Amino acid sequence: MMVKIFLIGMMGCGKSYWKKELAKHFKTGGYDLDFIIETNEEQTIAEIFQEDGEAHFRKTEAKLLRWFGEKKSFILATGGGTPCYHENMEWMNQQGITIWIDETVDVLLERLLPEKDHRPLLANLNAEELKIFLVNKLAERKPFYSKAAVHLQGKDINLNKLKQIIKNA
């Protein structure tokens, strides 16, 4: 089955996990946009932000996202901010199925606290600051995430449900 799936949502919501599960099930390529950017730029996301700034990162992100327009079948885990720039959300909706994985701030906090040192935007935040950051980021991104074809809340997500949604799309 040919599928073009874009997984969107906040960092820590499970995009990478569901990318692997869906790619395995549909026997297609599973990709992580941030990893593709790091490979292409030969720098980590943190280094790109630090050395070239967010504007350069977002431009590169949009360019590499558009590469998926040429692919026939894939599951793509986007970066948390990907839908919010360069009309990426509109483009993804034209290309395939967008699925917003919407986890609660408490679940995100629980998942991100142990690994925050590996995430440049979070490294210097304590638990309380991280929670405020997540609440604000989610509010800022919600108008973009809300344009997704499918909106799934964390507690409702399982492989069977995702397979059904994709088959019916």
- The CA distances from residue 115 to 36, 111, 119, 122, in Å, are 21, 7, 7, 9
**Tens digit of each residue's pLDDT (9 = 90 or more) over 40-62:** 999 998 899 889 999 999 999 99
pLDDT recorded at residue 148: 98
| Domains by residue range for the chain, with CATH | 4-168 (3.40.50.300)
Structure tokens at 21: 């599960």
**Tens digit of each residue's pLDDT (9 = 90 or more) over 72-124:** 999 999 999 999 999 999 999 999 999 999 999 999 999 999 988 877 778 88
CB atoms < 10 A from the CB of 141, how many? 19
pLDDT recorded at residue 116: 86
Single pTM value for the model: 0.95
- The CA distances from residue 53 to 130, 142, 155, in Å, are 22, 23, 36
What is the spatial distance between Cα 138 and Cα 127, in angstroms, rounded to a whole number? 16
Task: Determine which of 16-20, 121-125, 162-166 has the lowest per-residue pLDDT on average.
Answer: 121-125
